[in-house]
């Protein structure tokens, strides 16, 4: 494993962890992107398992987390726009240069999958396909009642609190990680409207998502309350030109913690399913 620095056009940097196959440099590359508030290093067990299964892997970082030069705090502003317009293009360019001639697939978890899909809707030629794990549209109607109303009220409250406080102090309050107030405003808007037409971006991504013509594997984790089946379909149903395959991942009974993250370690069946998907794609 080696690391390289990804430098976005606005000057922000982050490290990407690269798992190369010297015996087969043309092997497919999985560009793994984390969930909201989650450091890339948390996905090391998954990256190592994918590498052992014959893939090459690029483990990226979301802005504001881990090795990102931008850290959430008062006066630090970034939202979906900066991640989609600056960070993802820089990451995929770096990966393309590091793995010349190898096909690339997005493997995005939760927000990493959502924003990765928005990026690919703009530059579909940069990937041969996408695997979206627990990546829902955050529209509140994707959750069963009454939790749907809790989602709607909770994100409105979080966005308002973040605006007043200056950022979202997730580590202090024990909910996800620290993040920008703008991220919370963008997410609260998408929770309310169901559309990827958010305050930070000049782009209405809805028509672009409908034009995205790539093979997509949409993975629902059974029992994942943070990405229920209707929420996952809420995103995949927007991809009307894509070839979408739905698959449910069932974790073992002894997996600790949240099902939304438990698959990162209980990943054997996912790795096998991704192998099949990539081979067909």
pLDDT in tens, the chain (281 residues): 999 999 999 999 999 999 999 999 999 999 999 999 999 999 999 999 999 999 999 999 999 999 999 999 998 999 999 999 999 999 999 999 999 999 999 999 999 999 999 999 999 999 999 999 999 999 999 999 999 999 999 999 999 999 999 999 988 888 878 999 999 999 999 999 999 999 999 999 999 999 999 999 999 999 999 999 999 999 999 999 999 999 999 998 877 778 999 999 999 999 999 999 999 98
Annotate the chain with three-state secondary structure: CEEEEEECCCCCEEEEEEECCCCCCCCCEEEEECCCCCCHHHHHHHHHHHHHCCCEEEECCCCECCCCCCECCCCCCCCHHHHHHHHHHHHHHHHHHHCCCCCEEEEEECHHHHHHHHHHHHCHHHCCEEEEECCCCCCHHHCCCCHHHHHHHHHHHHHHHHHHHCEEEHHHHCCCCEEEHHHHHHHHHHHHHCCCCCCCCCCCCHHHHHHCCCEEEEEEECCCCCCCHHHHHHHHCCCCCCEEEEEEECCCCCCCCCHHHHCCCCCHHHHHHHHHHHHHC
| Residue 142 CA from chain centroid, whole number | 18
pTM of the model: 0.97
Which superfamily does 2-138+205-280 belong to?
Alpha/Beta hydrolase fold, catalytic domain (3.40.50.1820)
């Amino acid at each position: 494993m080696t690391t390289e620095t990804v430098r976005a056009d606005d000057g922000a940097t982050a490290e990407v962890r690269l798992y190369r196959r010297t015996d087969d440099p043309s092997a497919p590359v999985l560009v793994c992107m984390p969930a909201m508030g989650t450091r890339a290093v948390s996905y090391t067990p998954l990256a190592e398992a994918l590498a052992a299964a014959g893939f090459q892997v690029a483990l990226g970082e979301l802005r504001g987390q881990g090795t990102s030069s931008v850290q959430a705090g008062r006066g630090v502003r970034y939202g979906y726009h900066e991640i989609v317009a600056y960070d993802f293009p820089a990451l995929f360019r770096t990966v393309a240069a590091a793995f010349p001639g190898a096909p690339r697939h997005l493997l995005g978890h939760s927000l990493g999958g959502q924003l990765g899909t928005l990026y690919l809707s703009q530059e579909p030629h940069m990937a041969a396909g996408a695997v979206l794990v627990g990546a829902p549209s955050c529209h509140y109607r994707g959750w069963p009642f009454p939790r749907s109303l809790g989602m709607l009220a909770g994100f409105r409250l979080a966005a308002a609190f973040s605006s007043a406080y200056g950022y979202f102090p997730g580590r202090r309050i024990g909910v996800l990680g620290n993040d920008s107030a703008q991220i919370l405003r963008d997410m609260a808007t998408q929770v309310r409207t169901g559309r990827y037409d958010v305050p930070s971006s000049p782009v209405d991504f809805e028509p672009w998502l409908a034009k995205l013509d790539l093979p997509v594997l949409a993975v629902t984790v059974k029992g994942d309350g943070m990405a229920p089946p209707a929420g996952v379909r809420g995103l995949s149903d927007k991809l009307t030109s894509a070839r979408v395959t739905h698959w449910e991942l069932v974790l073992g009974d002894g997996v600790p913690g949240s099902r939304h993250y438990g698959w990162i370690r209980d990943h054997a069946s996912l790795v096998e399913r991704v192998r099949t998907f990539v081979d067909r794609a």
